[in-house]
């Protein structure tokens, strides 16, 4: 291959067809492989995370606003101060859905999850929340909006709905593993060719 100097830059002579360009630096495959792995991990992590819950106001008092969101596992609750939107320091919380007591668990983001009390719940159940805060107890209630396309005899999601989410997360991890293996195979095959 003939190399010509032109303005201090090495360039390939057109007569050397098929030869690699001298002025091009090779990109290390290790750096490219790591970049691909990080990208694949980020995509798999984003795919595995559940979407953000969109809360809608259900009931208000002079001090508290109760915002709710329908989820497969139950009803997500968020108790905020009426004026500012900051979370209320809850000391006691009980929830009834269609008159049946629901199990309530706190979440890391300050919201609460009230599990569906039974497998069969009305399409638009009545939610009653008794909340203790700032030394007082308040009762807030309202009817949860029916999901789009729900019939009058809506059944709450079964535990199988949670299994579907786990299956999607496992599928994302399998895809991530396959991508990592393909990157490794590509890197090794290119290394052996040189």
Per the structure, the count of domains in the chain is 1
CB 174 within 8 A of CB 48: no
C-alpha span between 46 and 40 (Å, rounded):
10
Indicate which CATH number applies to the domain containing 70.
2.60.40
CB 184 within 8 A of CB 33: yes
Answer yes or no: is 164 within a domain.
no
In a domain, 178, yes or no: no
Structural domain includes residue 133 = yes
What is the DSSP-derived secondary structure letter of residue 182? Answer: H
| Domain assignment of residue 48, yes or no | no
SS3 for 42? helix
pTM higher than the cut 0.75: no
Q: Which residue has the higher pLDDT, 32 or 108?
A: 108
96 within a domain of the structure (yes/no) = yes
Instruction: Judge whether 153 lies within some domain.
Output: no
Residue 109 belongs to what domain range?
A: 56-147
Q: Which two tokens stand for residue 15?
A: 């007569």
pLDDT tens digits along 108-128: 888 899 988 876 667 788 899
Residue 30, in any domain of the structure: no
74-112 per-position pLDDT tens digit: 899 999 988 777 888 888 999 998 889 999 999 888 889
């Amino acid at each position: 291959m003939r190399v010509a100097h032109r303005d201090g830059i090495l360039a390939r002579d057109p007569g050397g067809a098929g030869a690699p360009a001298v002025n091009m630096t090779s990109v290390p495959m290790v750096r490219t492989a790591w970049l691909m792995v990080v990208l694949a991990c980020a995509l798999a992590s984003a795919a595995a995370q559940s979407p953000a819950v969109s809360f809608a106001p259900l009931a208000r008092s002079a001090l508290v606003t109760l915002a709710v969101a329908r989820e497969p596992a139950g009803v997500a609750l968020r108790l905020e101060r009426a004026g500012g939107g900051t979370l209320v320091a809850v000391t006691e919380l009980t929830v009834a859905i269609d008159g049946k007591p629901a199990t309530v668990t706190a979440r890391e983001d300050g919201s609460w999850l009230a599990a569906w009390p039974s497998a069969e719940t009305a399409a638009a159940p009545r939610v009653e929340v008794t909340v203790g805060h700032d030394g007082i107890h308040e009762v807030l209630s309202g009817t949860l909006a029916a999901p789009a396309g729900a019939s009058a005899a809506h059944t709450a999601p079964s535990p199988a709905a949670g299994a579907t989410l786990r299956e999607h997360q496992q599928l994302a991890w399998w895809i991530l593993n396959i991508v990592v293996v393909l990157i490794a195979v590509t890197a090794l095959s290119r290394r052996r060719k040189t």
